[in-house]
Structure 1
Amino acid sequence: MSLPHRIRRSRLSAAAAAAASLALLAACSSATESTTAEEGDGAPGEGTTAVGFIMVGPKDDFGYNQAVYEGSQVIAEEFPDLEVLTAENVPEDDTAATTMQQMIDKGAKLIFATSYGHLDAALKVAEENPDVVVVQQGNTITEDIPENSGTYFGTVYEPMYLAGIAAGASTKSDKLGYVYAFPIPQTIANINAFERGAQSVNPDAETITVSTSSWCDPGKQQAAADSLLSQGVDVLTQHQDCTATVIQAAEKAGAMTVGYHADASSLAPEGWLTGAVWDWGPLYTDIVQTVVDGDFVGSEYNDNFRVGYKTGTNPFVLAPYGPLVSEETMSEITAAQEFLGTEDGSPFVGPVYDQDGTLAIEEGVVPTYAENDAMDFFVQGVVGDLAQ
């Protein structure tokens, strides 16, 4: 099954825009009721002249926000008649709503709010601007989903499982280190999948965790990396928005590294193994095209949209391999990826035990994506308590 039904290269010409507007106006003329727009308004996002992206950090962080920015530039290329507005370092508070409203005032009727904590602001802006589509990246809407909103994400822990195979096969100390921010389910699933991948090729591998309680604090990241390296860890990875500090710390210490969010192999020419990184361009393109076509309401994006190896083209992919990854390990990773795409495939096929040895997932059970997205425990082999 391929990712969303309209992924295609497109150019929004003036003629196409006019035709789309006429078609939408004709369709709207027969509508008698709308829960999101006043009578006479068109489909949410209709007539947009700009697309906005807000980022919680800098666009050159070798991580989460850089991947978002690179995806936004794909939109600039694919839709040259649309202005692409970007805002960096937007906090997860009322500032986010203010920034999105400023973009709307400049003509944007499609906004990408790209940080986990931007959801409340995104929903507020969507409510106040029923003619604007506001989509949020990474969180989920638990109440009724407005007709002009939705969330989207990839299945992040799948490539982290594959990266764990590279780490487990490469470690000499059997100690892997994981620097993470907050114990949200997504992060917990990533750590667990990484350890499970490592264990699949090296049963002695353990993953030692340290929380920074921050998405991007280089000082805390450096301290966490130093702590892990002092414990004999020889492979470092992370769930942080900005990744350069941890990667450079590993390279300086002669340790290996697994990247996250964006390809940062240039920072670790000797120790880079691989990474789990975002390729947002195709998904962003399809969301924009859906809005431009007037088809957002009732679409897969007007929901909590998720895609993984089982359901389509995961936007979270494995980065290129470094020189330390053997051909044998590459073959094992390829086989594992094929397995994850099958009905019975998952990093968490039971039996799965938690840190205390309690059976968490029974033998043979394949948890759903939704169940994995609610994970709240560390698996056996992960060292460290969940941060509070």
Structure 2
Amino acid sequence: MRITRRHFALGAAALGGAATLPFGSGRAFAADPLKIGFVYVGPVSDHGYTYQHDVGRKAVEAKYGDRVSTTFVENVPEGPDCERVVQQLAQAGHGLIYTTSFGFMNPTIKVAQRFPNVKFEHATGYKRADNVATYSGRFYEGRTVAGTLAGKMTKSNIIGYIGSFPIPEVVNGINAFTLAMREVNPQAQVRVIWVNSWYDPGKEADAAKALIDQGADVITQHTDSPAPIQVAQERGVWAIGQSSDMTRFGPKSHMTAVVEVWDGYYVDRVQQVFDGTWKPTDTWGGLASGMVEMAPFNPALPEDVRALGQQAIDDIKSGKRHPFAGPFKNQDGETVVPAGEAAADEAILSMNYYVEGVQGSLPK
């Protein structure tokens, strides 16, 4: 029997009276399967970031069948609720637990200290331990491709960018996008609206409308719902999707999307658990490794623009192009990376400034 939704609770003695939480579940239990838990910040129906992680979970089920039993918890807030959920999974016998949002980092580390025999993996964070690995995608590489297309297609020279939270992962994406955009169109500017949420279709739609009202004729996002794509379609402007191919939500407006691909990573890491070779590694894959892909370019884009976008993909994959190759400056006109150099990974992972071409101030 296959269960698609269930309620999962641990006894009061184990949890100290914690409330029952809603879980989604994978296939029926086989004899001694490896129990794998996934903790999601949004709903699996977001058609973006969480949706793509759940595609990876399903790939694990498809690959290993009754050797695994997967459980997911969706809509988990970043903070104490996350710690409680992760602890429940560990207490319930999950031997491998994936926590998939930046704000889950400290709760994951705390629970991992209490369960040294459980393997944990945290997405987009940087804290590791003997039983905690980290993994993420070089999403900024996809932003470089998107910025190239946007710079060529804008007529107003105003690009609207919907940001979730001003953390380095989001900031370096804005900067990579802007640098690539300005390389092909030095007059173009980026305007950012922060919605302080990973997934809030209402806020995302309102931000898209506000940016279009300010003159933006291309909308891009680092949020998870397709609402900005739908608004762009309604308003007749271009848009760039996030995490998954969002073409179906705005076939006329959707230029491309930065697609996150977790399938191969999850399948490989589960195999390492079975083989006894799992280690607390740090994985940061991009276009070359296949952890980041670009959705098909809209055929309505001019052929030369599509060719330029493909060239950006090819050059990043081959190492010919680095998204943060110098020279470039910050908003204050100070050279951040000089000519002949490129920003190191450490600098990319700690970006706390806007580059030239981004309007407004970065929230602190």
> TM-score band (shorter)?
0.7 to 0.9
Match of 1:308 among 243, 262, 286: 286
Query: Alignment partner for residue 173 of structure 1, among 156, 160, 169?
Result: 156
| Contact residue 192 and residue 360 of structure 2 kept, 8 A | yes
Structure 2: which 5+ runs fail to align? Answer: 1-31
From the superposition, tell whether residues 343 and 257 of structure 1 become closer, same or farther in structure 2 (CA, over 3 Å).
closer
- How many Å separate the matches in 2 of 1:132 and 1:327? 51
Q: Match of 1:245?
A: 227
Secondary structure, counterpart of 1:50 in structure 2: strand
Provide the rounded CA distance (Å) in 2 between the counterparts of 1:314 and 1:377. Answer: 28
Give yes or no for the alignment of 1:326 onto 2:326.
no
| Equivalent pair of 2:195/2:204 in contact (CA under 8 Å) | yes
The answer on 1:378 being equivalent to 2:361 is: no
Aligned structure 1 segments of 4 or more residues deviating by more than 6 angstroms? none
CA shift, 1:270, in A, is 0.6
Q: Could you tell me which residue of structure 2 aligns to residue 284 of structure 1?
A: 266
Partner of residue 184 from structure 1, selected from 167, 171, 178: 167
Question: 2:248 is matched with which residue: 263, 266, 269?
Answer: 266
Per-residue CA deviations over 1:260-312 (Å, capped at 9, x if unaligned) read 11111100011110010111100111111111211113xxxx13321234xx5
CA deviation profile, 1:150-198 (whole Å, cap 9, x unmatched) = 1111111001100111111111211110010211111111011111222
1:70 alignment partner, one of 47, 55, 60: 55
- Structure 2: distance between partners of 1:183 and 1:324: 33
Determine if contact 1:247/1:267 at 8 Å carries over to the other structure: yes
Q: Distance in 2 between matches of 1:168 and 1:156?
A: 18
Cα distance in structure 2, aligned partners of 1:387 and 1:224: 16
TM-score (norm 1): 0.82
The 5-angstrom pairing of residues 48-87 of structure 1 reads 49-81=34-66, 82-87=68-73
Deviation at residue 342 of structure 1 after TM alignment:
4.5
Maintained 8 Å contact 2:326/2:340: yes
Q: Secondary structure at the match of 2:306?
A: helix
Q: Which amino acid aligns with 1:201?
A: V
The answer as to whether partners of 1:131 and 1:148 remain within 8 angstroms in 2 is: yes
Q: Distance in 1 between matches of 2:174 and 2:105?
A: 24
In the alignment, does 2:331 pair up with 1:345? no
Give the Cα–Cα distance (whole angstroms) in 2 for the partners of residues 355 and 137 of structure 1: 30
The Cα of 1:50 is off from its aligned counterpart by 1.4
Report the equivalent of 1:127.
Answer: 113
Query: Paired residue for 2:13?
Result: none
Structure 1, unmatched stretches of 5+, are 1-46
Q: CA deviation at 1:332?
A: 1.4
Q: CA deviation at 1:48?
A: 5.6
1:89 aligns with 2:75: yes
Deviations 1:68-97 (CA, angstroms, capped at 9, x unpaired): 111111111011121111110111122222
Aligned partners of 2:258 and 2:294 also within 8 Å? yes
SS of 2:65's partner is: coil
Greater RCO structure (CA 8 Å; 6+ sep) = 1
> Distance in 2 between the 1:272 and 1:365 partners?
34
How many residue pairs get matched?
332
Query: Are 1:272 and 1:323, in contact at CA under 8 Å, matched by a contact in 2?
Result: no
TM-score by length of 2: 0.87
How far apart are the structure 2 equivalents of 1:226 and 1:112? 35
Mapped to 2, the partners of 1:126 and 1:223 lie a distance apart of: 39
RMSD over aligned CA atoms reads 1.6
Q: 1:344: how far off?
A: 5.4
- Give 1:330 shift: 2.1
For residue 236 of structure 1, what is the aligned residue in structure 2? 219
- AA partner of residue 246 (structure 1): P
Find the partner of 1:104 among 87, 90, 94: 90
Deviation at 1:149, TM superposition (A): 0.8
Asked whether the 8 Å contact 1:350–1:364 carries over to 2, the reply is yes
